[in-house]
Amino acid sequence: MFWLLFTINLFNYIDRQMLFAVFPLIKTDLMLTDAQLGSLASAFMLVYMLYAPIAGYFADRTPRQYWMGISAILWSVATSATSIANNFKHLLMARSFIGVGEAGFTAVAQGFLAEHHPHENRARVLAAFGLALPLGSALGYLLGGFMGGHFGWRAAFMVLGVPGLFLGILAASRIKDQRKFLRPSQKPNLMVYLILLRNKSFLFTCLAQAFAIFIVGGLSAWLPTYFNRFFGYGVAKSSMIFGAMIVTGGALGTFLGGQIADRLLKKTNKAYFITAGVSFALAMPFAALAVVTDNFRLSVLCFSVAIVFASIQMGPLNAAIVDATSRGIRSMAFALNIFIIHLLGDAVSPYVIGKVSDLTNLRMAILVCLLAVVPACFFCAMAAFSIKNKSLLRKITD
């Protein structure tokens, strides 16, 4: 079950991130502005976050394997359909529809997986599952850049959308939801979303993630183009460089985050938030130095170190979401988490960076993006202070 869900999650990020590898090619082919390019990522995230609460609500009332399987099929079809877009409007529609499929999977998979592992190992398990983000993102940049550079950006989308179709069929047919279903009158209703928003630990965790995602999403969208513009590297080379940074730094950071948080959990119940907050603070100076330097090797080195620290928070903060909620509403909890973190995070940051870049330059735009590390650290601290007592949500639902 773990490996099937991990592989689906891997293609989730491959399909999502390879768009950024071919930004320069799409810009030239369809004659788009930087703001339009940024809005492609923002449109995906807008649909992704709006649909997630709907998917989470119904997933907590029905067998979850069907949501995971059908969602993988939907986003794979939309990825392949991206290849036939002839203008900005068609491209925007295709990228938006990918958000429907990926929201249906992500809202369900993490909570589903966490239920099969004990509390003391959850940060490590969710960190291992989260390794799909750096690995899939790297493959998205590498495969997208390679195929886009050699065969064109349309061929990249057409081919890389296919594997998810078969993985979705496997998930729907091979995974079984072992959860005991309640009578209709006992099933969670939409009021659960209001209860979740009253849970300070849950809310502050989501806000901390949101500002982290603002930075990570913005950099993921624009760093390959940054290397292309300021250091003169081609599309394929820029994407390969950034892909290597993501797979090494992201994988190392995600792995370390799960290990550190689970070990620290033996000493304090604030372990998840201490781990995440310290990692945010350590990432900032390296990222800033990477942007201001004119030395390419130093820039790559500092960005790589910053990616390690920025990736540490993934397992701990997702484990904190699991701890703050009960089993019967976990899909809804992750769905609301998706809504909040992307509403304030990468639904807007690629567009903001593109707009600031149009007004000034891309270097200044990325520096502005990095300022979001301040509220990220602040909300980690608030989340840590909020867990002195048993959470409101557990009092009501358990």
**pLDDT tens for each residue of 147-183:** 887 888 888 888 888 888 889 899 888 888 776 655 5
Q: Say if 225 falls within a structural domain.
A: yes
Mean pLDDT computed over every residue of the chain: 83
352 has a pLDDT exceeding 70 = yes
Q: CB of 99 within 8 A of CB of 44? A: yes
Split at pLDDT 50, 70, 90, the class of 338 is confident
Q: What is the pLDDT of residue 391?
A: 42
What was the pLDDT predicted at 296? 87
Whole-number Å distance between alpha carbons of 302 and 289: 7
Structure tokens at 121: 């190992």
- Does the pLDDT value for residue 278 go beyond 60? yes
CB 134 within 8 A of CB 250: yes
- Domains in the chain: how many in total? 1
Q: Does the pLDDT of residue 292 top 90, yes or no?
A: no
For residue 93, give Cα distances in angstroms to 38, 47, 83, 85, 265.
Answer: 14, 10, 12, 9, 44
Q: Which residue has the tokens 């701890």?
A: 323
CATH number where 166 lies: 1.20.1250.20
Tell me the per-residue pLDDT of 317-334, one tens digit each, with 9 for 90 and over.
988 888 888 777 888 888
DSSP helix/strand/coil, 58? helix
Q: Is residue 129 part of a domain?
A: yes
234-243, 268-277, 350-359: least confident range = 234-243
Query: Is residue 97 situated within a structural domain?
Result: yes
Confidence of residue 42 (pLDDT cuts 50, 70, 90): confident
Q: What does the DSSP 8-state code read for residue 297? A: H
b/e code 258-275 from CB counts within 10 Å (16+ = b): bbbbbebbeeeebbbbbb
115: in domain: yes
How does pLDDT run across 360-383, given as a tens digit for each residue? Answer: 888 888 888 888 888 999 999 999
Is the pLDDT at 201 greater than 60? The verdict is: yes
Residues 184-189: what's their mean pLDDT?
Answer: 58
Say which residues have a Cβ less than 8 Å from residue 340's Cβ, sequence separation at least 6: 49, 203, 206, 207, 209, 210
Check whether 392 has a pLDDT greater than 50: no
Whether 295 shows a pLDDT value over 70: the answer reads: yes
For residue 184, being part of any structural domain is answered with: no
pLDDT for 206: 93
Confirm whether 248 is domain-assigned: yes
Residue 355 lies in a domain: yes
Which structural domain, as residue segments, surrounds residue 7?
2-174+189-397
pLDDT tens per residue, range 298-317 = 988 998 898 889 889 888 89
Model pLDDT for residues 98-148, shown as the tens digit of each residue: 888 888 888 888 888 877 777 677 778 888 888 887 788 778 878 888 888
The whole-number pLDDT of residue 188 equals: 66
Residue-level pLDDT at 8: 92
Could you tell me if residue 285 is inside a domain? Answer: yes
Calculate mean pLDDT across residues 75-104. Answer: 87
- What mean pLDDT comes out for the span 2-28? 86
Task: Tell if the pTM clears 0.85, that is, is over it.
Answer: no
Calculate mean pLDDT across residues 327-346.
Answer: 84
